Amino acid sequence: MSDLFAALDLGSNSFHLLIARRRGGDLDTLELGKEKVQLLGGFRDGRLAAEAMQRGLDCLQRFAQRLTAVPRVQLRMVGTHALREASNRADFIAEAERIMGARLVVIS
């Protein structure tokens, strides 16, 4: 099993990436990344705008390139407010999971 782990936080304004390596009982941060996505930009009638979803998916494509060495079973991806509120979240989630090869969990 690899000693690399990653976490993605898909927020309403920014997406965050953390890559860490396990050393003994500790996790050492190897990389932190943040991109302003504005997933709620253009939010209308309870729906994410197509342009905002595309910004988010483009960001995930870039993050995926940085995660090639991280086994997908050691990647956690969570979404927050924007994905809780959007009635069309399933479209975004399905594409995000395809890009990342990991499950996206919407948290409270």
* 3 state SS of 84: helix
pLDDT by residue (tens digit) across 79-89? 999 999 999 99
**Residue pair 29/98 in contact by the 8 Å Cβ criterion:** no
pTM above 0.85, yes or no: yes
pLDDT by residue (tens digit) across 41-65? 999 999 999 999 999 999 999 999 9
Measured CA to CA in angstroms, residue 97 lies from 8, 36, 101, 105 at distances of: 12, 20, 5, 10
Round to whole Å and give the CA distance between 61 and 86.
Answer: 21
| Structural domains of the chain, ranges and CATH numbers in brackets | 4-106 (3.30.420.40)
